Amino acid sequence: MVEWVVCVAAVVVSFEDRPADVVQAAKDRRVVETLLRLKGVKLNTKPQWKAAVRRHLHRIVGQPKYFDLIERFALREETPQLLDLAVAFPARSSAVSALRLLLKFERQAEIRRALKDHPGKAAGLIAALGLAGGRSALEILQPLVVDREQSLAVRSAAARAVGRNLQGQQSLLTLVREQKLPRDLHFTVADVLFGSPIAAVRSEVARYLKMPAAAKGKALPPVAQLAKRRGNAARGERVFNMQGTCAKCHKVRDAGKEVGPDLSEIGSKLSTEALYVSILDPSAGISHNYESYIVVTVEGTVLTGVKVSDSATQITIKTAEAVERPFSKLDLEDVIKQPTSLMPEDLQKNLSLDELVDLVEYLETLKKPPTGIKSAKP
Ligand code: HEC
């Protein structure tokens, strides 16, 4: 909603307070309304109608009506605008609508290029493609799952997106059965397939993969089911500081160490599902600036940690114990970026199912303080 309100507001300021533009906008709207009532309109034979429709479209970019009109009149020339919308905010429903139309217009090549040109947005765009759905989305997504050139974040997002489709679930199951599924996707694919609505898929995947085990070796249910449970936030806070060992690496307000990101507002940033995934499969979505590195010195010291700073002469690494260690670049043999997170993979092993649910309940309470209340007062 907010996205197009902003767009429309911008247009209102720039055009519509000039009388000629107001008149033109009203005319265009009338043309569009009339065309919508006619059957079998071919805009390509009527350039002036088409121009009116396109002017109107550009006044309502991103609104539901915008996508309806593009679809109704099959306006393939809107491709660049649709791509821009998808890339700008992949997590919004406008991105899904835009991608659905791009797939309908067979713009697979353009979508693939956007994924390549915007690596920081790729995982988000892939998730939106999964929601846009259909066979043509699968054609883009399936090869990404097993493409070793792609980061784990991209492959994992692709596996989740493929898993939104029943035919896609079968293709994931085939990878599992034929032992072609890379090890680092086991969690994602197990989570997707154990959550399948089809009993035969769930029972077959159980022959090959397991969900991670909580304390006492009890396998966890899929994330979609975990996310429906309610826990006790006060108990979760104790889990965070004690059994979970989370406070060894994360700050919440003034307590805890800062090896990983500050979690004081994590409940505003991540959905319940994403909170579970970041605990159960930390490497699948490593936060920006928290990639882990191994440094090897000329003298043979080896140290793993996140990079705190990197200048022309010096690099500083922060270890899992929150120790900052500077190195002169002259002393370094190698600096190797790791595909895995510094956050340990099996933290849930020390937690019971209830403790894990309590922990996530607690994380959800960590929200941004509400803003705008003060400024709204005169
Ligand atoms: C050894 C250090 C370490 C421990 C222990 C640890 N984490 Fe992390 N955590 C990290 C690092 C580093 C990152 C950033 C890299 C990544 O996203 O995987 C991270 C990322 C996260 C994120 C994603 C943050 C974001 O902004 O996207 C969440 C949520 C999180 N951790 C929760 C937890 C919880 C809950 C626990 C306890 C069960 C825990 N962590 C234990 C190091 C740790």
pLDDT at 372: 60
pLDDT at 146: 95
pLDDT at 10: 47
pLDDT at 44: 80
Between the CA of 291 and the centroid of ligand 1 the distance, in Å, is 12
**Stretch 53-61: mean pLDDT, rounded?**
93
pLDDT tens profile 163-179: 999 999 999 999 999 99
Residue to mutate, 273, 278, 343, 345, ligand 1, most ligand atoms under 8 Å from C-beta: 343
Check: CB of residue 96 under 8 Å from CB of residue 132.
yes
Supply the mean pLDDT for the chain: 89
Check: CB of residue 222 under 8 Å from CB of residue 229.
no
User: Which residue's CA is minimally distant from atom 23 of ligand 1?
Assistant: 278
Between the CA of 211 and the centroid of ligand 1 the distance, in Å, is 20
pLDDT at 140: 96
Give the range among 3-12, 254-263, 282-291, 333-342 with minimum mean pLDDT.
3-12
pLDDT tens profile 14-32: 555 677 888 899 999 999 9
pLDDT tens profile 99-138: 999 999 999 999 999 999 999 899 999 999 999 988 899 9
Name the phi and psi angles at 351, rounded to 5. -115, 145
Instruction: Say if residue 341's pLDDT is above 70.
Output: yes
Ligand 1 atom closest to the CA of 246, numbered from 1 = 37
pLDDT tens profile 91-109: 999 999 999 999 999 999 9
CA–CA separation, 59 and 247 (whole Å): 49
Instruction: Say if residue 268's pLDDT is above 70.
Output: yes
Domain limits, the chain: 2-212, 217-283+344-365, 292-337
Query: What is the residue type of 366?
Result: L
| Strands 324-328 vs 332-337: parallel, antiparallel or unpaired | unpaired
User: Which residue's CA is minimally distant from atom 5 of ligand 1?
Assistant: 246
Of 76, 87, 91, 132, nearest to 113 by C-alpha is: 87
What is the CATH number that goes with domain 217-283+344-365?
Answer: 1.10.760.10
Of 289, 266, 292, nearest to 279 by C-alpha is: 266
Between the CA of 286 and the centroid of ligand 1 the distance, in Å, is 9
What is the CATH number that goes with domain 292-337?
Answer: 2.30.30
Query: What is the residue type of 197?
Result: P
